[in-house]
Amino acid sequence: MTVLILTSKDDVTADMVVTRLHDAAVPVMRLDPADLPVNTLLSARYAHGDFEGLLSANGHVVSMGGLRSVWVRRPGEPAAHADEPSAWLTAETRQALFGMLYSASARWMNHPREAERARLKPWQLRTAHLTGFAVPPTVVTTVPRLARQFAEEYGEVVVKSASGPPPGEPPMALPTTLIGPDSDFSGVAAGPALLQRYVPKRADIRLTCVGGRLFAARKEADPDQVDGRYGDTGHTWEPAEVPDRIRKSVHDYVDMAGLAYAAFDFAEDEDGFWWFLECNQSGQFGFVELETGQPISEAVAQWLSRPARG
Amino acid sequence: MTVLILTSKDDVTADMVVTRLHDAAVPVMRLDPADLPVNTLLSARYAHGDFEGLLSANGHVVSMGGLRSVWVRRPGEPAAHADEPSAWLTAETRQALFGMLYSASARWMNHPREAERARLKPWQLRTAHLTGFAVPPTVVTTVPRLARQFAEEYGEVVVKSASGPPPGEPPMALPTTLIGPDSDFSGVAAGPALLQRYVPKRADIRLTCVGGRLFAARKEADPDQVDGRYGDTGHTWEPAEVPDRIRKSVHDYVDMAGLAYAAFDFAEDEDGFWWFLECNQSGQFGFVELETGQPISEAVAQWLSRPARG
């Protein structure tokens, strides 16, 4: 029974997991959907009430009946590396590949359906509320008056992107930015803005959940820095204890979201209280494992190695 | 409690349902996500464990707490009509709109998560098998040898697109085409092909399922025509009885797929037997209603009018 990893060629985080799977003698196929149909073959047959499918890449063949699990890491767009790429070839190739994979009974980390919903930041905030996390008050709006009103109510707020930085080259960093009620909010009318009450933080918390196993890491914050993701705070990630209340909420959240893997970001305030900031269903874990020594890649490999649901 | 209809401006099928909702005095908001944020306002607030959201368009305001149901008809891309459209503005606007709508407890016809999976044609074939439909043997492959082998086994096969015709202007028709085992299959290597055993048909069947209510229509086929969707067969759609076996399979299919609305296409063969061809989760129903007089738009309006799940 094979583990299928969908990711692009250069992915050191995937490499870490592949090493663990090799150590455990679990068969692995690593495949970038972008390489279909040039370097990778696909064939599925639906006949007589039954279904057979196979993928072939790098001299390996995997049948859908022999598929244990699928790890969606950082896959490229289907057929993006074709000789004559087109939107239509991508659509047809996506149909063939994911239509076949969805027909199998493999376990997913994470299923694209769950991933798509879990990416919606407003839905994350609502789900965090429902599962008992403390969430800083947030507004997502296209109305300048309501944005200003929110800033006046809370004094200091941060403005963030909901979908991440704008695409394109060179990559653009978009750090979370602190603003006050006297800012110019007129631009909000041109595109929705996400504003959140600023949480003065003592530390950043990254909590990685792998099929119910929790790994929390903590990094002291630089009090002068709003968004510690960009730049060196002079501190490193250290393993942290997970409070019982948080543990329960994490389990409820991943259950409700249907996620086998999730990376939660919290802000630890001056009182040691954890505030939910976001839950990234495909968040990186390599940097945490390297600094803390927590066996996250092993946990991922173990989850992927379990038998298919059959 | 309001019904929200996400669709573009010119949509006569939506008009039919809006008329029914007006007749029943059910409040309706019709909105094209492409009009955000220029002609449509959006604001959502997540605070104190609660959630409030509103949409405002054409002088109407709808709160998320007052949302009964959402009908995803033919919505445009979020923010496509903005003064300066961009992929990033679309991504941010999708986050804001769908993040807010997913946070509400409205009923969906159909939820985008279910719709995305239901569009995958190979998954449709597998689900049709599992729910007891008869499905013509089908292969989806990038391997010319396997495509030829399939055609040799069945003699006459049709080749179809899985994702629909190529996008772009002018629109390109892509009728299902009959081919034999002597065809040139080399092009299969350049992009996945979907081949299906040809079913010589006596009639086309369109079965529309609206929240469990079934409307079947039948149109005599022109024996010389493989794909009756393009061109006049000289026959019209007539109401048809649904065989009990089909009725049960349809209910099981929409349950498994999580679809409130689905349009099934069958081929009726020489023996009167119905073969599953596809299930389109956003299939048109206007032409069937006009020719058969079946009250499909009323059934859609009634489904949308039921109370929210709360």
Predicted confidence (pLDDT) per residue in A154-188, tens digit: 999 999 888 887 777 777 777 778 888 899 999 99
The Cα of B180 is separated from the nearest Cα of chain A by a number of Å equal to 18
Residue A257 CA, chain-centre distance (Å), reads: 12
Contact A46 B166 (CB under 8 A): no
B137-198: in CATH 3.30.1490: yes
**Which of B46, B50, B122 has its CB closest to that of A103?**
B122
Between CA B307 and CA B128 the distance in angstroms is: 31
Contact A41 B143 (CB under 8 A): yes
Between CA B218 and CA B216 the distance in angstroms is: 7
Contact B103 A122 (CB under 8 A): yes
User: Under a CB-based contact definition with an 8 Å cutoff, are residues B40 and B31 in contact?
Assistant: yes
The Cα of B146 is separated from the nearest Cα of chain A by a number of Å equal to 8
**Which of B43, B95, B124 has its CB closest to that of A163?**
B95
CA A20 vs CA A4, A214, A296, A305, B176: distances in Å: 14, 19, 11, 10, 47
For the record, the structure tokens of B196 come out as 């299906």
Q: What are phi and psi of A298, to 5 degrees?
A: -65, -40
According to the model, what pLDDT value does residue A168 have? 77
Between CA B276 and CA B205 the distance in angstroms is: 10
Contact A102 B117 (CB under 8 A): yes
**Is residue B272's pLDDT more than 90?**
yes
Contacts of B43 in chain A (CB under 8 A): 139-143, 146
Predicted confidence (pLDDT) per residue in A233-258, tens digit: 688 999 999 999 999 999 999 999 99
Between CA B217 and CA A64 the distance in angstroms is: 37
Contacts of B91 in chain A (CB under 8 A): 163-164
Does residue B154 sit at the A interface (CB-CB below 8 Å)? Answer: no
Does residue A100 sit at the B interface (CB-CB below 8 Å)? Answer: yes
The confidence band for B243, taking pLDDT boundaries of 50, 70 and 90, is very high
Q: Given 3.30.470.20, 3.30.70.980, 3.40.250.10, 3.30.1330.10, which CATH number is that of B111-134+201-303?
A: 3.30.470.20
Task: Tell me which of B50, B95, B256 to substitute to probe the interface with A (most A C-beta atoms closer than 10 Å).
Answer: B95
Contacts of B116 in chain A (CB under 8 A): 112-113, 116
* Residue A169 CB partners (closer than 8 Å, separation 6+): none
The confidence band for B310, taking pLDDT boundaries of 50, 70 and 90, is very low
Work out the number of other CB atoms within 10 angstroms of the CB of residue B62: 21
According to the model, what pLDDT value does residue A310 have? 47
Between CA A28 and CA A26 the distance in angstroms is: 6
For the record, the structure tokens of A72 come out as 């969606």
For the record, the structure tokens of B267 come out as 């081929």
Q: Given 3.40.50, 3.90.320, 1.10.3470, 2.10.260, which CATH number is that of B2-109?
A: 3.40.50
Nearest-CA residue of chain B relative to A136? B47
Does residue A186 sit at the B interface (CB-CB below 8 Å)? Answer: no
The confidence band for B309, taking pLDDT boundaries of 50, 70 and 90, is low
According to the model, what pLDDT value does residue B166 have? 79
**Is residue B308's pLDDT more than 70?**
no
Between CA B268 and CA B240 the distance in angstroms is: 12
- Report the candidate in A231, A183, A173, A221 with the shortest Cα–Cα distance to residue A199: A221
* pLDDT, mean of residues B260-268: 97
Q: Where are any strands of DSSP class E within chain A? A: 2-6, 28-31, 40-47, 50-57, 60-63, 67-72, 107-109, 138-141, 157-160, 177-179, 193-197, 201-210, 213-220, 238-240, 261-269, 274-280
Contact B116 A113 (CB under 8 A): yes
**Is residue B22's pLDDT more than 50?**
yes
Task: Tell me which of A103, A114, A275 to substitute to probe the interface with B (most B C-beta atoms closer than 10 Å).
Answer: A103
The Cα of B304 is separated from the nearest Cα of chain A by a number of Å equal to 23
Nearest-CA residue of chain B relative to A105? B126
Q: What percent of chain A has pLDDT over 90?
A: 83
The Cα of A205 is separated from the nearest Cα of chain B by a number of Å equal to 21
Predicted confidence (pLDDT) per residue in B150-193, tens digit: 999 999 999 988 888 777 777 777 777 888 889 999 999 999 99
Does residue B173 sit at the A interface (CB-CB below 8 Å)? Answer: no
Does residue A236 sit at the B interface (CB-CB below 8 Å)? Answer: no
Cα angle, residue B143 at apex, residues B140 and B144 outer, rounded to 5°: 105
What are the DSSP calls for A169-219, one per residue?
SS------EEE-TTS--GGGGGS-EEEEE---EEEEEEEEEETTEEEEEEE
Contacts of B191 in chain A (CB under 8 A): 37, 79, 82, 89, 92-93
* pLDDT, mean of residues B27-53: 94
Predicted confidence (pLDDT) per residue in B63-85, tens digit: 999 999 999 999 999 999 999 99
ipTM comes to 0.92
pLDDT less than 50: residues of chain A: 310
Does residue B37 sit at the A interface (CB-CB below 8 Å)? Answer: yes
Nearest-CA residue of chain A relative to B47? A137
Domain residues of chain B, as ranges?
A: 2-109, 111-134+201-303, 137-198
How many CB pairs lie under 8 A apart between chains A and B? 217
User: Under a CB-based contact definition with an 8 Å cutoff, are residues B251 and B277 in contact?
Assistant: no
Contact A43 B191 (CB under 8 A): no
Contacts of A93 in chain B (CB under 8 A): 191-192
Q: Model pTM?
A: 0.93
Does residue A192 sit at the B interface (CB-CB below 8 Å)? Answer: yes
Predicted confidence (pLDDT) per residue in B103-162, tens digit: 999 999 999 999 999 999 999 999 999 999 999 999 999 999 999 999 999 999 999 888
Contacts of A138 in chain B (CB under 8 A): 45-47
